[in-house]
Structure 1
Amino acid sequence: MENIPLLRDLIILLAASIPISIICRKLNIPAIVGFLITGVIIGPDSLALIHEKDSVNVLSEIGVIFLLFTIGLEISLERFARIKRFLVIGGGLQILLTNLAIILIAKSFGFTVRESVFFGFFISLSSTAIVLKSYMDKAEIHTPHAHIATGILLFQDFCVVPMLLLIPSLGTAEAFSFAKIFKTMLISGAAITLIIGATYFLIPIGLAQVVKFKDREIFTVFVILLCLGTAWLTNKVGLSLAIGGFIAGLILSKSDYSHQIVSEILPLKDIFISVFFISIGMLVKIHFMQEMLLPILLITLAVILIKFVFGSVTVLLLKYPLRIALITGIGLAQVGEFSFLLLKFGENYRIISPENYQYLLSIALLTMLFAPFLIRWTPSVLARFSPLKEIAPSEPEYDTEKLTCNLSDHVIIIGYGVNGKNLAKVLKETGIKYYILELNASIVSQAKKNGEPIFYGDATRTELLEKLGIRCSRVIVFAISDPSAVRRGVWAARKLNPGIYILVRTRYLVEIEELHKLGANQVIPEEFETSIEIFSRVLQRFHIPNNIIETEIKIIRKEGYKMLRGLSLEPYNLTEIQKALQLSLTETFLVDEKSPAAGKNMVELDLRNRTGVTIIAVVRDGKAYTNPQKDFVISNGDVLVLLGSHKQLNDAMKLLEEQNDQE
């Protein structure tokens, strides 16, 4: 049999990555880091298991094309609009401030302008995969700091493309000049515009024809052809392959088939991207890390500190409190996966020396290793410094000083999202006094224009709660998605007013017991209230009477959602449900012309013998005929009043609806 070295190398790559990725998962370290470590272990400076390095690099290039392709597909103007403030202002500030800081520091150490600019590009990017996964694992994806970080990360991802376009200018032998960069951007922009213009009309036409065949294999092959074909075309006009993948994704992003395209390409992208990160790890020189361990660690700490500081400053400039700023800043304090892509380009265009390449590679790897742990520990560390004064800018119009003397017997609403708005609307209509505390300055500004009694601030600050009159308030409602802020806010509210009724909305059931211990009177888990609504609709479909459904819901809530959490209900509550379901109940059924009951008398229908249900009355034209006789003929439009157990009623309904279902 013919020997295929590349196949052997691929088997080694994938086989080695699986156990390492499993270990990383157990330690809550992202898979990307696992792939990088795999590359380090099997690379030429360690076990040296890979022989066809050039072929592996080709596969990694394809992975980069698919990665940029999916980024182009996922770019949505609607998504940008929802977080435009975080994305444009926050992302722009973070990139600008970090780049300026790195360039100035690098220049002060004697690096050239082109090297300094490249270092700025490399370090300014953060890892979308690590940050968002860490927030999801902690159930914090809907928190303010997660929303801000998402906007900044999206902006960073978008900046990758112009950075890739600029790198060839940095790598030229000519003297560095911004005029040269501008000229390169202009030429690249013109080439991209021509390619987009040519493919914008051709691709949708071809895709529409392919879809008509309704063949998944043809569809997948066509999409891969579009992706790789556009990449090849851009490469021919002097741009990178990755830019071509991005353009293809961008063109298809508005297609009706974009979600299907993502689902088809995702497995391929994941495989090739894993090869890309493994190939990057293979470039790490172990002996270099051992010899330069101290400077590498010092520079790594400096990079984390710089990114943390300027990430936090960015959030403060968006007028968020210090606590949110610090949590967001530490979330962005690592080097991102796209930095490895820039590093590869920097090496190809000889912007950086082999020694600096190893420094950057080692630093990036270490920051990514530290990131999940820093993100996990920061909120609890900050919680120990509750006396820390907030330094976020406060606006005079949001000052709560005047409220202190005038508040009593009112409701405090923490958060002005959907739940907060609905509660405020109901309280206003019923004449109950309320005040709102919101952390988003733009929401506060808009709500104030609408006449809402809303104030800017963080619910974890006891001085703010006191100014809102918490000591004489009757109820406080937490309707925010930040678990850490909710816990601290509940504790502070109970400490300031032992008699206040604390109502908390939480997204996750695991929060219930801890929030109760901290002082909450009632905790409403959002996901299980949704599940209650779902099961009640299902029970209604089986004709379980509303009073029984309500009984079950009350029992579940009374027992703290134990049934839905997989815990045992108290025995008397189980008995209560069973007894209720065995009772004789009533139900009504409207007879239409297609029903098997229409035109039949009581004997012909024989509902009692067939199901056990008794027809105790028939309502016709507003008049009730009780205990209908054997010869009573049922007509279209009659309403049958049925009596039986819930199982009997369910059987009767099936029988009476049988004809309708067949139709």
Structure 2
Amino acid sequence: MHDVAETSHHLYPLISDLGLILMTAGVAVLLFKKIKQPLVLGYLIAGFLAGPHFTLFPTIQEIENVEVWAEIGVIFLLFSLGLEFSFKKLVKVGGSASITAAVQIVLMIIVGFTTGKLLGWNFIDSIFLGAILSMSSTTIILRAFEELNVKKQKFAGIVFGALIVEDIVAILLMVLLSTIAVSQQFSGVELMESIFKLAFFLILWFLAGIFFVPTLLKKTKGLLTEETTLIVSLALCLMMVILATAAGFSPALGAFIMGSIIAETTKAEQIEHLIKPVKDLFGAVFFVSVGMLINLETLQEYALPVAIITVVTIFGKTIATMLGAVISGQPLKQSVQAGMSLAQIGEFSFIIATLGMTLGVTSGFLYPIVVAVSAITTFTTPFFIKNSLQVYNKLKIIIPKKWEDRLDNYSANTQSIQKTNHWKKYISSIVLHIIIHTVIIAGIVFAGISYLIRLANGPFTYYAYIFLTVVALLPFLYALALQRVAIPSLNELKNDNKNVTPLILIALFRILLSFVIVFIMINELINPLAGIIVLLVLIAFGILFPKRIQRWYGKIENQFIENFNDREISEAIRNKSDLTPWDGHMTTFEIPQESLIAGKTLYELKVREEIGVNIAIIKRGDLIINIPDKDEKIFPKDIVYVIGTDEQVKEFELFIDKSLVSSVDYNTEIVLRGFELTNESLHGLTIRESKIRENSTSIIAGIERNGKRILNPQPTFILQKGDIIWLVGDKKKIAALFTE
């Protein structure tokens, strides 16, 4: 009985604290939803009201419990961000978004660090401030873009690409900041070790994840209901969290990596949908826990630093992003719009600030200052995005015409087609091939020597584990040493006699690297007998089963490529935004079920003549209609790919909105009426030429002529005086049309 009572005693604060958090958060988010403000601010205020620094309302009893919930919140928040991230997207954002993000991040780290030092802060606080200011808020930007209806404009693509790059850089910064925090100084050697370790595990986890996770989801496809999919995805997330923690990284990194792996699968959208309520729940707890640290006395004391850092954030990030976009070759208009969109800090800034507090290396005032700056910049973000075009127009007037022409020429030149360097392409392919297979081999050796062999409880199992480790290495050693790395221009390189010697040297280097890896493995095993077994197994398999090893590797490679491209193939049609020149861009619209344009041909819609856009592709289920002709009809749920400028796309979106059935008068009485054609002017005209349908908002369901009945006559049917026309449509309009 005593144990039960004790358990209940410990359970009660946990439940009451969670209840207080959710109750306060619920009231706050309803209020902020009502006044159309970001929910993150509502969570922060809810945390302040429920926290220890505000005593008017009930206060959280055990902060430690909230910290546990908050840690879980960070894990699911990062898992969700990973689902939206995708490493393939990082490659596809291209040089433009990567350069934009890189310039902005580097400049803001420098500016933030300098600002901290000028304010008299220590080294650690200043470097953390720089990292915090370099991160923008995906949540706030998405919300602002939706509210301002600019998601389909061209600059939004630059912003989203930059946010993707920021996500992966944030993970790297967390690892580097942890290293700096532990050593309390900037050590180049330790940082390089941390970067190398992070790169090794990122590549290894990603390769293994892409091979196993999509395969698992496909093999169990028939068993995956919504419930089982949710459980499996959460299990995968927490498994990677455990692996990341065991490797010495933060749990958040593991969650992000698993999210990015699942993002490459065809189940990504479903899992993202299923995980959203879990993420929202624990994410709310995380942001509420952030709000609990707000201390009005501290903010009052540091009001000047808050004001300075806010100004530095808004103007610094705007200028840094704009500069990065211009350097990457973007036109000045899109550069200004992108810069003014990224002028805030958000989720990752909180997580980096939390890291500093968890490690106990940052001062107590940093966290509340970051929260205050985030709150202010959250309010300013929609205003800046909304007025970015006006700022560009004013800037265009101010800058000299010569500068504007140079920027336009620079932008045009950076986007022009560059001549392909065959050697550069081949070397990059070879380097990537060597890195990937070296990491895989090192991972297998590490797992075999560090874990598997140590589990052996006798000589038999010891040598059995060594044998299994070597067999697992065989296909990857073959690939590293002998697998042909093919590029389209390889034959051209081979045909030039000057290239023969470099190609042979590269092949010999790969073989030598394979021998070095085998030597290292033998050296690590120490046991001479184990070393002999390794060599004998490698030689025996290499002589007896070369074709099988090659086929084995081929199956592994094909499975990986199939998994890696699964989602891309299913969404290939969506990746055609590069088919537009100059200021135009391609975007997609789904035709609503209730749209009145459904059933009409492109000729009838006349969107090119009246709006100026081109419909380049129509996707109807699995059917893809490229370059549809004027007689192609639009149907409900069609996805149309529209080419146009920002203004034209916006006008087309308005055209779609106006076509919804909601704009129809539901009080209209629809009737079937028959009338005799007595109007001489309609005699001899076709149904299309008569415009009866347009003038009466009705359809001609049938025609009677000389006792014969024609159901649903064709538009080319010629009307004659005395015909009885049966119309289905608006009672009043039909009556008005045929009133004598």
Q: TM-score, normalised by structure 1?
A: 0.62
Deviation at 1:206, TM superposition (A): 4.4
Question: Is residue 106 of structure 2 the alignment partner of residue 9 of structure 1?
Answer: no
Map of 1:591 onto structure 2? none
Name the SS for the 1:171 alignment partner.
helix
Residue type at the aligned position of 1:445: S
How many Å separate the matches in 2 of 1:561 and 1:204? 42
Q: Which of 49, 52, 58 matches 1:44?
A: 52
Map of 2:157 onto structure 1? 147
Map of 1:183 onto structure 2? 193
Deviation at 1:381, TM superposition (A): 5.6
Name the SS for the 2:182 alignment partner.
coil
Question: Is residue 413 of structure 2 the alignment partner of residue 445 of structure 1?
Answer: no
Deviation at 1:190, TM superposition (A): 3.8
How many Å separate the matches in 1 of 2:161 and 2:343? 15
Does structure 2 conserve the Cα–Cα contact (< 8 Å) formed by 1:195 and 1:234?
no
How many Å separate the matches in 2 of 1:97 and 1:6? 43
Does structure 1 conserve the Cα–Cα contact (< 8 Å) formed by 2:124 and 2:362?
no
Map of 1:118 onto structure 2? 128
Any residues of structure 2 matched to 1:156-305 within 5 Å, and which?
156-193=166-203, 195=205, 201-204=211-214, 206-305=216-315
Does structure 1 conserve the Cα–Cα contact (< 8 Å) formed by 2:230 and 2:275?
yes
Map of 1:22 onto structure 2? 30
Q: Which of 336, 340, 343 matches 1:333?
A: 343
Does structure 2 conserve the Cα–Cα contact (< 8 Å) formed by 1:16 and 1:38?
yes
Map of 1:566 onto structure 2? 663
Deviation at 1:342, TM superposition (A): 0.5
Does structure 1 conserve the Cα–Cα contact (< 8 Å) formed by 2:46 and 2:291?
yes
Change (3 A) 1:564 1:72: same
Does structure 2 conserve the Cα–Cα contact (< 8 Å) formed by 1:614 and 1:644?
no
**Greater helix share, structure number:** 2
Question: Is residue 700 of structure 2 the alignment partner of residue 578 of structure 1?
Answer: no
Any residues of structure 2 matched to 1:570-649 within 5 Å, and which?
576-578=694-696, 581-582=699-700, 584=702, 613=710, 645=726
How many Å separate the matches in 1 of 2:726 and 2:134? 68
How many Å separate the matches in 2 of 1:446 and 1:71? 34
Map of 2:108 onto structure 1? 98
Deviation at 1:365, TM superposition (A): 2.8
Does structure 2 conserve the Cα–Cα contact (< 8 Å) formed by 1:331 and 1:371?
yes
Name the SS for the 1:334 alignment partner.
coil
How many Å separate the matches in 2 of 1:136 and 1:301? 25
How many Å separate the matches in 1 of 2:170 and 2:402? 30
Any residues of structure 2 matched to 1:539-550 within 5 Å, and which?
none
Question: Is residue 448 of structure 2 the alignment partner of residue 351 of structure 1?
Answer: no
Deviation at 1:364, TM superposition (A): 2.6
Deviation at 1:343, TM superposition (A): 0.6
Deviation at 1:171, TM superposition (A): 1.0
Residue type at the aligned position of 1:266: K
Residue type at the aligned position of 1:142: K
Percent identity reads: 24
Does structure 2 conserve the Cα–Cα contact (< 8 Å) formed by 1:331 and 1:375?
yes
Deviation at 1:384, TM superposition (A): 6.2
Change (3 A) 1:182 1:99: same
How many Å separate the matches in 2 of 1:201 and 1:328? 36
Range moving further from structure 2, 71-80 or 40-49: 71-80
Deviation at 1:565, TM superposition (A): 7.2
How many Å separate the matches in 2 of 1:615 and 1:151? 52
Does structure 1 conserve the Cα–Cα contact (< 8 Å) formed by 2:241 and 2:255?
yes
Does structure 2 conserve the Cα–Cα contact (< 8 Å) formed by 1:17 and 1:34?
yes
Residue type at the aligned position of 2:359: Y
Change (3 A) 1:263 1:173: same
Does structure 2 conserve the Cα–Cα contact (< 8 Å) formed by 1:94 and 1:310?
yes
Residue type at the aligned position of 1:581: I
Q: Which of 380, 392, 398 matches 1:388?
A: 398
How many Å separate the matches in 2 of 1:186 and 1:615? 73
Q: Which of 333, 350, 370 matches 1:360?
A: 370
Change (3 A) 1:478 1:24: farther
| Cα-Cα RMSD | 4.6
Residue type at the aligned position of 2:17: D
How many Å separate the matches in 2 of 1:342 and 1:7? 28
Deviation at 1:262, TM superposition (A): 1.6
Does structure 1 conserve the Cα–Cα contact (< 8 Å) formed by 2:693 and 2:700?
no
Residue type at the aligned position of 2:269: H
Deviation at 1:91, TM superposition (A): 1.1
Deviation at 1:84, TM superposition (A): 1.0
Gaps of 5+ in 1: 400-438, 448-476, 483-508, 510-519, 540-556, 587-606, 618-642, 649-663
Name the SS for the 2:397 alignment partner.
coil
Residue type at the aligned position of 2:73: G
Map of 2:41 onto structure 1? 33
Map of 1:544 onto structure 2? none
Deviation at 1:386, TM superposition (A): 6.4
Deviation at 1:156, TM superposition (A): 0.7
How many Å separate the matches in 1 of 2:701 and 2:243? 74
Residue type at the aligned position of 2:163: L
How many Å separate the matches in 2 of 1:478 and 1:446? 14
How many Å separate the matches in 2 of 1:615 and 1:365? 63
How many Å separate the matches in 1 of 2:85 and 2:73? 19
Deviation string, structure 1 residues 178-207 (Cα, Å, up to 9, x no partner): 221112222344445555566555545544
Any residues of structure 2 matched to 1:405-484 within 5 Å, and which?
441=412, 445-446=416-417, 480=584
How many Å separate the matches in 1 of 2:414 and 2:662? 35
Change (3 A) 1:62 1:212: same
Deviation at 1:146, TM superposition (A): 1.7
Residue type at the aligned position of 1:56: V
Map of 2:142 onto structure 1? 132
Deviation string, structure 1 residues 14-54 (Cα, Å, up to 9, x no partner): 22223322332344321112211211222110145222322
How many Å separate the matches in 1 of 2:634 and 2:334? 40
Residue type at the aligned position of 2:48: V
Question: Is residue 353 of structure 2 the alignment partner of residue 315 of structure 1?
Answer: no
Map of 2:642 onto structure 1? none
Does structure 1 conserve the Cα–Cα contact (< 8 Å) formed by 2:703 and 2:713?
no
Range moving further from structure 2, 187-196 or 154-163: 187-196
Deviation at 1:562, TM superposition (A): 7.6
Name the SS for the 1:239 alignment partner.
coil
Range moving further from structure 2, 156-165 or 212-221: 212-221
Change (3 A) 1:286 1:109: closer
How many Å separate the matches in 1 of 2:336 and 2:168? 24
Name the SS for the 2:291 alignment partner.
helix
Residue type at the aligned position of 2:161: G
Does structure 1 conserve the Cα–Cα contact (< 8 Å) formed by 2:698 and 2:727?
no
Map of 1:589 onto structure 2? none
Any residues of structure 2 matched to 1:53-64 within 5 Å, and which?
53-64=63-74
Name the SS for the 1:581 alignment partner.
strand
Change (3 A) 1:142 1:194: closer
Map of 2:721 onto structure 1? none
How many Å separate the matches in 2 of 1:445 and 1:375? 29
How many Å separate the matches in 2 of 1:57 and 1:146? 36
